[in-house]
Amino acid sequence: MGEKKDIKNIIELIKKDAKKLSAKINIMEVCGTHTMAISRFGIRKLLPENIRLISGPGCPVCVTPISEVDRAIELSERDDVIITTFGDMMKVPGTKFSLNKKRAEGRDIRIVYSPIDALDIARNNKNKKVIFIGIGFETTAPLIAATVIQARKQKIKNFYVLPYFKVVIPPMIALLKDKDLNLNGFICPGHVSTIIGAKAYEPLTKQYKIPCVVVGFEPLDILTGIHMIISQIINNKPSVEIQYKRAVKYIGNLYAQKLIKKVFKKIDSNWRGIGLIPESGLTFVDAYKEFNASEKFKTDISYSKEPVGCKCGDVLKGKVIPFDCQLFDKRCTPSNPVGACMVSSEGTCAAYYKYERVGAKS
């Protein structure tokens, strides 16, 4: 009862303060877990009409370009290779196939729950080259860096990583530069912020004068974070705040940051639907480049192309919602996905399909 009362109270505060706004405001969340939570708990329906929530590129599987999916599929066709990956990647459609389809054809593709599992597979299959698909933001990068360091210490020579990692700040800046979006505030990711710290968002508030609030994942967390953003806008004092104080420190996890810098370096990286964003990805530093599967194994992915009619790219940019795509809930469903946004457990299309379409069961 206490939490329900708190939720009711914060909704009343949001409605009261929303009347003080001179215009409609657009608030973007850049975390796939937030996207799912917002849809699951019906938070959009609780807000006044002049407050709009926009889902951004917060799903690492979704923002991975189809060419990189095709590269992993090409590598799975080698007889001397074992592909290891988190489960979300299995159903992501490439240009011609998915990893699921290749596994059904007999290719050795294994779902793991940690890169440590992939390292164990390499240790137990020395006659095979074991490739781990490195998907994720700064949240997953430290563990994969630690795994690579462990592989070197244990002299495991048949373990490799496809470095498909992304970092969160550069795409936020890219979206702020898009005048069509007219963003007024960010719900900053909770998980990523445990690593990079709230301090990482300071350039956004200082240069672009936009509120940034690091938020947890419960309904009260999200609603409180929205109210904090509205308050900053009303008072014209954009700043970085932490709502998710039980998990996030302002400086983040310094040890994890050190691990990332030891093994990886920033590079320009392509994002599905957005394009090339400077210094938005991670690859291996020279001292660890022997673990880079992209350099070790050459593939021809010149045939890669996005599926016709799929608006996943525009969904990731916040330009449209899934209902605006003609394929949504018709040709594109979770059992038969056309785009990555319908596949991932953090994808916007998957969230809308499960919780926001007519007849969806929550």
Span 73-104, pLDDT tens digits: 999 999 999 999 999 999 999 999 999 999 99
Is residue 362's pLDDT more than 50? Answer: no
Per the prediction, the chain carries an average pLDDT of 95
- Beta pairing class for 264-271 and 275-284: antiparallel
Query: What pLDDT score was predicted for residue 170?
Result: 97
Is residue 207's pLDDT more than 70? Answer: yes
Domain map (residue ranges) of the chain: 2-53+169-242, 61-167+252-296, 313-355
Query: What pLDDT score was predicted for residue 109?
Result: 98
Is residue 214's pLDDT more than 80? Answer: yes
Is residue 210's pLDDT more than 70? Answer: yes
Query: What pLDDT score was predicted for residue 360?
Result: 59
Q: Which residues pair with 276 in a beta bridge?
A: 270
Is residue 291's pLDDT more than 80? Answer: yes
Assess if CATH 3.40.50.720 describes domain 2-53+169-242: no
CA separation for the pair 75, 109 (Å, rounded): 10
Task: Let me know if the fold of 2-53+169-242 is the same as that of 61-167+252-296.
Answer: yes
Kindly state which CATH superfamily the domain 61-167+252-296 is placed in. HypD, alpha/beta domain 2 (3.40.50.11740)
Backbone angles phi, psi at 277, to 5 degrees: -120, 125
Residue 209's region, left for phi above 0, alpha for psi from -120 to 50, else beta, is left
Judge whether 360 and 323 are in contact, CB under 8 Å: no
Is residue 180's pLDDT more than 90? Answer: no
Judge whether 201 and 44 are in contact, CB under 8 Å: no
Backbone angles phi, psi at 84, to 5 degrees: -120, 140
What is the rounded average pLDDT of the residues 298-319? 93
CA separation for the pair 310, 315 (Å, rounded): 10
Q: Which residues pair with 198 in a beta bridge?
A: none
According to DSSP, residue 289 is labeled: G
Query: What pLDDT score was predicted for residue 345?
Result: 86
Judge whether 334 and 74 are in contact, CB under 8 Å: no
Judge whether 352 and 38 are in contact, CB under 8 Å: no
CA separation for the pair 276, 270 (Å, rounded): 4
Sheet containing 129-136: order of strands = 109-111, 81-85, 129-136, 159-165
**What percent of the chain shows pLDDT beyond 70?**
98
Query: What pLDDT score was predicted for residue 361?
Result: 52
Query: What pLDDT score was predicted for residue 179?
Result: 84
Residue 362 tokens, joined: 């929550």
**What percent of the chain shows pLDDT beyond 90?**
94
Residue 74 tokens, joined: 């090409």
pLDDT band at 321, cuts 50/70/90? very high
Which are the contacts of 266, defined by CB distance < 8 A and separation ≥ 6? 167, 279, 280, 281, 282
Give the pLDDT confidence of 6-60 residue by residue, as tens digits.
Answer: 999 999 999 999 999 999 999 999 999 999 999 999 999 999 999 999 999 999 9
CA separation for the pair 25, 229 (Å, rounded): 10
For the chain, the C-alpha Rg in angstroms (whole number) is: 21
What is the rounded average pLDDT of the residues 313-329? 95
Identity at 47, one-letter amino acid code: L
Which are the contacts of 209, defined by CB distance < 8 A and separation ≥ 6? 238
Query: What pLDDT score was predicted for residue 348?
Result: 97
